[in-house]
Amino acid sequence: GASSTGLYTLSGDKDNGVNINAAVRGGVSDMGTSKLKKAEYVYIGYRATGDMLLRLNTNDSHVRDYMVKYNGETGLHVKRVRLGKGVVARYYQFELQNINGADFELNTLEIKPTILSRRVSSGRA
């Protein structure tokens, strides 16, 4: 890297001794239908060196956070995250964040929603 004070080597897993926060966020999706969807689980294909946080944003207004605990596995693996009961929305967006600078690699994030027959919400998201 370069700045007004000189050239620097960018390496390591810290930024001047501080953990590096990182996140990956997908786009907002209605999964191809205007109908409401109920989701119970998200499946994450990933590898990490520590705990992660899965953030669910529904209908651009309701945010829920779910801890993804590190189990010591070092290779690529799939983790099932149970979402809270009552998560019903048209639009879903997911974000995966590291905690305490954990290194991670995201391979897949998959949701298998139940499509409901209604198109309008009763205020729930």
Q: How far apart are CA 43 and CA 6, in angstroms?
A: 44
Nearest to 95 by CA among 32, 44, 33: 44
Q: Residue 32 and residue 78: Cα distance in Å, rounded?
A: 25
Indicate the pTM of the whole model. 0.82
What are the tokens at 25? Answer: 């966020």
Q: What is the pLDDT of residue 122?
A: 55
What's the pLDDT tens digit per position in 18-39?
888 999 999 999 999 999 999 9
